[in-house]
Chain A
């Protein structure tokens, strides 16, 4: 029993220490973000590495999610004789929830893990130390551009995901099942509110980009400088990012849609 308490105490202390470390680190990152922004070329490179390289997985996933939504949505809607509402069901699901959330989860696995591995390897092979000894600050030069890359890429990818999803739903709902194309689009246009749905969805994606970006660079920067250290940091990035995204999504959803009904 005492042993259990002992272990619980140690785990809690460890977690608190890591949280403190993370807070200091995030402070250092934010303090250098403005300076980092002036290095446009570095930022463009990271948007390419994180964003453009995630494009294929985002497009394909979006398309399939949209197609599945169409099949499932049609099955339920036609029971109530409102199959025409398929367009609005699909668009709202994508723009409000699935676009930002699934994009963030995929992004954490595709780009976040790569960023963690890259920075962790730079730590393990003393590249960060070498940079520091050359009087070049590794947080400004290495961390900030990668963090900003995630922050900028994720909302754009979420929009692409939702668009691909709508196209997928159109292909299945209109071309395959035979819903009226005019009804599909007009229902969608009538029910999606720009501020309430589109902007809120984008805001979610931005918050997820912030979370996934910070977690990825933190885990890489503070990875143990060994092969095992880098590999477990990569795993932690995916796990912690996913849990954070789902938790944040719940909180944001409650805040955004509270009191509307």
Chain B
């Protein structure tokens, strides 16, 4: 490999990004060493999915730099970007399985599109990946026949098909029962270690995160505000951490979306009262 093992796989420096007028990330610094599982936590709308988009090259930073395996993601052209993405896997929030293909064909998809392997070899590889997520028996099912947890595992098998160096997970536990979430969590840890990957998990599931992550960072106001290990999180009395870990409704992260003064709006003075003033 051209980079020393010590060089971090992911390196974001002073990243600024948003949509239209709206700034979502501002002054974000983050570095992830190889082999680690990093959990990115933060409330909804804090730009966690946008951050994954920056790493995958689907979003381009307004300022600052995004490096993955030494490559400046924002500067890559089409083929260069696709070459990098072939070494990345991404698990989308709801799996994003191809609904017109069977489980088997979903996992065969990356092999058929990206390699010239003969069909019998592809078959063995697909069955191996399915076995790794415990769903070899579901190969002939259609995605619509799977439970949420199973669909997520199939999507995971598809994401690791080409043995990526980096796995990106967008809220892998959301909408799952605790048992399914536990299964996914253990799979993430096992695959990361077995295949020598690096993983970045965007999540707000504190329990699972504390169990599997090597490091946890907290995003708020567009930047990283805390960076700790699970052990540190458990004993911390930091108000930011406690609000997250204990699920307190209000704290440094406000419960209320910014709004005009309540009393004034009720009395009809302020705008934003919808159709009433039409």
Q: Which residues of A contact B (CB under 8 A)?
A: 118, 121-122, 125-127, 129-137, 141
Residue of B nearest to A130 (CB): B96
CB pair A135–B96 under 8 Å, yes or no, is no
14 interchain pairs, CB-CB under 8 A: A121-B99, A125-B94, A126-B94, A126-B96, A129-B96, A130-B90, A132-B58, A133-B85, A133-B88, A133-B90, A134-B86, A134-B109, A135-B82, A135-B86
**Which one, B92, B114, B155, contacts A135 given CB within 8 A?**
B114
Establish whether residues B92 and A126, one from each chain, have CB atoms under 8 Å apart when the complex forms.
Answer: yes
The answer for the CA separation of A129 and B159 in the assembled complex, in Å, is 13
Given contact pairs A125-B96, A130-B98, A133-B85, enumerate 18 new A-B contacts (beta carbons under 8 Å): A121-B99, A126-B92, A127-B96, A127-B99, A130-B90, A130-B92, A132-B58, A133-B88, A134-B85, A134-B109, A134-B110, A134-B114, A135-B85, A135-B86, A136-B110, A136-B114, A137-B82, A141-B113
Q: Give the CA-CA distance A33 to B98 in the complex, in Å.
A: 22
In the docked arrangement, what's the CA distance between A127 and B113, Å? 15
Return A145 CB to nearest CB of chain B, in Å: 12
Q: Which residues does chain A contribute within 8 Å of B99, judged by CB atoms?
A: 121-122, 125, 127
Instruction: Give the chain B neighbours of A131 by CB distance below 8 A.
Output: 98
Give the complex CA separation of A126 and B109 in angstroms: 16
Residue B46 is within 8 A (CB to CB) of chain A in the complex: no
Q: Does B93 touch A at the CB level, under 8 Å?
A: yes
A133 touching B110, Cβ below 8 Å: no
* A134, B113: Cβ atoms closer than 8 Å: yes
- Within the complex, what minimum Cβ distance (angstroms) separates B174 from chain A? 13
Q: Complex: how many Å from CA A24 to CA B82?
A: 21
Is the pair B56, A133 in contact by a Cβ cutoff of 8 Å? yes
Closest to A141 in B: B113
Residues on B with beta carbons closer than 8 Å to the beta carbon of A129: 58, 92, 96
Main secondary structure of the interface of A (DSSP, over half): helix
Residue B228 interfacial (CB < 8 Å): no
Instruction: Write the nearest CB–CB distance from B48 to chain A, whole angstroms.
Output: 15
Q: Are B109 and A133 in contact (CB under 8 A)?
A: no
Q: A134-B85, A135-B83 are in contact. Are A127 and B98 (CB under 8 A)?
A: yes
Chain B contact-residue range equals 20 to 34
Asked if residues B113 and A136 are in contact (CB atoms below 8 Å), the reply is yes
Once bound together, how far apart are the Cα atoms of A118 and B100, in whole Å?
10
A137 — nearest CB in chain B belongs to which residue? B82
CB-defined contacts of B86 to chain A, threshold 8 Å: 134-135
CA distance A137 to B83 in the complex (A): 12
Q: A121-B99, A125-B99, A127-B99 are in contact. Are A133 and B94 (CB under 8 A)?
A: no
* Cβ distance A64 to chain B, nearest Cβ, rounded Å: 33
The residue of chain B having its C-beta at the shortest distance from the C-beta of A132 within the complex is B58
Chain B CB count within 10 A is highest, among A125, A129, A132, A135, for: A135
A14 to B: closest C-beta gap in Å: 15
For A133, what are the chain B residues with a Cβ–Cβ distance below 8 Å? Answer: 56, 58, 85, 88, 90
Instruction: State how many angstroms separate the Cβ of B25 from the closest Cβ of chain A.
Output: 19
Docked complex Cα distance between A126 and B159 (Å): 14
Which residues of B213-245 have CB atoms within 8 Å of chain A's CB atoms?
A: none
Nearest B-chain residue to A121, judged by Cβ? B99
A137 to nearest B CB, angstroms? 8
Shortest Cβ distance from residue A132 to the other chain B in the assembled complex, whole angstroms: 7
Question: Which residue from chain B places its CB closest to the CB of A125 in the assembled complex?
Answer: B96
Q: How far is the CA of A131 from the CA of B90 in the complex (A)?
A: 10
CB contacts under 8 Å to A, within B25-84, are: 56, 58, 82-83
Q: Which residues from 89 to 110 on chain B have a C-beta closer than 8 Å to any C-beta of chain A?
A: 90, 92-94, 96-100, 109-110
Beta-carbon nearest neighbor of B91 in chain A: A130
Taking the closest CB of chain B, its distance from the CB of A4, in whole angstroms, is 16
In the complex, residue of chain A having the shortest beta-carbon distance to the beta carbon of B93: A126
Cα distance A1–B64 in the bound complex, in angstroms: 47
- In angstroms, Cα B90 to Cα A132, docked, is 10
Residues of A within 8 A of B83 (CB): 135
Within the assembled complex, what's the spacing in Å between the Cα atoms of A125 and B98? 9
Q: How far is the CA of A134 from the CA of B85 in the complex (A)?
A: 6
Cα–Cα, bound, A136→B94 (Å): 19
Which of chain A's residues has its CB closest to B79's CB? A135
B263–chain A nearest beta-carbon distance, Å: 31
Q: Which of B56, B92, B93, B114 has its CB near the most chain A CB atoms (within 10 A)?
A: B92
Q: How far is the CA of A127 from the CA of B58 in the complex (A)?
A: 14
Say how far A109's CB is from chain B's closest CB, in angstroms. Answer: 21
- Cα A129 to Cα B93 in complex, Å, equals 11
C-alpha gap A124/B94 in the complex (Å): 11
The distance in angstroms between the C-alpha atoms of A118 and B98, with both chains bound, is 11
Nearest 6 interchain pairs by C-beta = A130-B96, A135-B82, A126-B96, A135-B85, A133-B90, A126-B92
A129–B82 CA distance with the chains assembled, in angstroms? 13
Give B186-224 as 1s and 0s: 1 = Cβ < 8 Å from A's Cβ atoms: 000000000000000000000000000000000000000
Closest to A118 in B: B100
CA A133 to CA B88, docked complex, whole Å: 8
Give Cα distance in the complex from A185 to B277, angstroms.
71
